Amino acid sequence: MSKFLIVEDDSTFAQIIEGFLIKSGFEVLLASNTKQAYKLIDQQDFDLLLVDYRLPDGTGLDVLKYAREKGIATPTIVMTSFNDVRTAVKSIQLGAFDYITKPVNPDELLMVIKNSLAKDEAEPVVADDNFIKGKSEVAEKLHQHIALVAPTDMSVIIQGESGTGKEHIAKTLHLQSKRSTKPFIAIDCGTLSKDLAGSELFGHTKGAFTGALNDKKGQFEAANGGTLFLDEVGNLSYEVQVKLLRALQERIIQPIGSTKTISVDVRIIAATNDDLANSIQQGEFREDLYHRLNEFKIQLPALRDRGKDLELFINHFIALSNKELNRNVQAIEPDAKQLLLDYDWPGNLRELKNVIKRMVLLSPGDTAGTASLPDEMKMAVSQLSKNSGTDLKAVNEQNEKQLITETLQKVRFNKSKAAKLLNIDRKTLYSKMERYGIE
């Protein structure tokens, strides 16, 4: 029986979910703050963590970070209000499996849980019709580039915002290469603790460090002949970056604690949300490794920049959700459609897929209306349209907020660095963050 930990301070809501999940056949433990959660995570193994974003003594992301630092890769779902969707996007970057927006619909929750548990089982990489290419100019160019670079052995960096489909493109490159019958192994470098990353990639020998009870084969060796996909590559520690560079240059690896080297033939595809050039400037990413990885760069467009593809994706996700949820949505009312087209989709394809699934779930008939779309999305759109008018002050504020948020993300929320980049003092940065509600 799968065991879940729910971390939620609203006790009534926690009990409702607990009851529902127990009825669905799961074992559930509850924690109401981060401290209790840490204690339980230390004591027991869980198959899934379901964490609320806002907790009395921290956030759900703290719980996620705590687990990841301990080397616990349990799938984690973050529950957030729709207004926090940008935070949710950050949680995915930190290695959360998915997020779900409140109010939580039980059927939707069960669906997300089912997906996250299924993800644990290794699936062979095969092309499937759950994915479409898009027909916009950027999409056509993107697929031309993929067709050109896929058959080569060049290392590729895929850069794009969270949820733009980087992992899917990495699989496509593998499938279109001569390595397609060999393994494709994806590693989320964001979820690897500093200590475990080396051993995960290169393996270790028995007794190499406390807890190394047996010899362990690393993922480099496991991917031999095939492709290794390093997601969130910017999160690798400097030490591991050095080893990775050696592996790429010399095509050999050395398991931790071993004196022997092993030859490997692996193609690397790396993905990043950030501009690695910035991390290089900050001294966080090695420039030599960057150039070795960047033999070819693929820039994935944000959904808001994909023009007519947005409509294609909407229809595609409706068809998928109809099938999955046994619904029959054939049309969207014009005002609901307009909302979908006007929204700026910070979570990109992942967010669109979630919103459409929810819309289909809440639409028993053949037409979906605005009632099936989150209220907060409507508010976000009206805010966006307000600010895109002639109100200069609002436009400036919106730009300023966006710039501050992006800069903070770039420097991983190091306020001194952000203030320096923005050319303002720390105090001004703090007061602006407070004014714009940036956490």
Ligand X SMILES: Nc1ncnc2c1ncn2[C@@H]1O[C@H](COP(=O)(O)OP(=O)(O)OP(=O)(O)O)[C@@H](O)[C@H]1O
Which of 68, 90, 166, 357 contacts ligand X by CB under 6 A?
Answer: 166
Q: Going along 322-401, which residue ranges are E strands?
A: 331-332, 367-368
Residue linked to tokens 């499938």: 175
Which of 116, 164, 235, 241 contacts ligand X by CB under 6 A?
Answer: 164
Beta bridge partners of 359: none
Hey, what are 37's tokens? 């959660």
CA nearest to 234, candidates 279, 195, 202, 191: 279
Rounded to a whole number of angstroms, the minimum distance from the CB of residue 168 to ligand X is 4
Which of 165, 198, 203, 301 contacts ligand X by CB under 6 A?
Answer: 165
| Binding residues for ligand X restricted to 101-160, rule: CB under 6 A | 131-132, 160
Which of 60, 163, 203, 218 contacts ligand X by CB under 6 A?
Answer: 163
Residue number of the CB atom closest to ligand X:
165
Hey, what are 435's tokens? 């004014």
Angle between helices 348-361 and 334-342 (to 10 degrees): 160
Applying CB under 6 A, does 231 fall inside the site for ligand X?
yes
Stretch that binds ligand X, among 28-36, 166-174, 233-241, 361-369 (CB under 6 A): 166-174
Nearer to ligand X, 356 or 419 (CB): 356
Applying CB under 6 A, does 301 fall inside the site for ligand X?
no
Q: Any idea what DSSP says for residue 105?
A: P
Applying CB under 6 A, does 410 fall inside the site for ligand X?
no
Applying CB under 6 A, does 92 fall inside the site for ligand X?
yes
Hey, what are 166's tokens? 């980087």
Instruction: Write the CB contacts of 411 (distance below 8 Å, at least 6 apart in sequence).
Output: 282, 417, 418, 421
Q: Is the dihedral of CA 105, 107, 111, 117 positive or negative?
A: positive
- Using left for φ > 0, alpha for ψ between -120 and 50, and beta otherwise, residue 24 falls in alpha
Contact by Cβ (8 Å): 343, 381: yes
Which of 70, 86, 168, 182 contacts ligand X by CB under 6 A?
Answer: 168
Binding pattern for the stretch 238-277 against ligand X, x by CB under 6 A and - elsewhere = -----------------------------------x----
| Binding residues for ligand X restricted to 333-372, rule: CB under 6 A | 349-350, 353
Rounded to a whole number of angstroms, the minimum distance from the CB of residue 173 to ligand X is 12
Tell me the chain's radius of gyration from C-alpha atoms.
Answer: 22
Nearer to ligand X, 167 or 376 (CB): 167
For 220, the 3-state DSSP assignment is helix
Beta bridge partners of 422: none
Applying CB under 6 A, does 224 fall inside the site for ligand X?
no
Rounded to a whole number of angstroms, the minimum distance from the CB of residue 58 to ligand X is 22
Nearer to ligand X, 165 or 198 (CB): 165
Contact by Cβ (8 Å): 169, 219: no
Rounded to a whole number of angstroms, the minimum distance from the CB of residue 211 to ligand X is 28
- State the residues that interact with ligand X by CB under 6 A: 92, 131-132, 160, 162-168, 231, 273, 349-350, 353
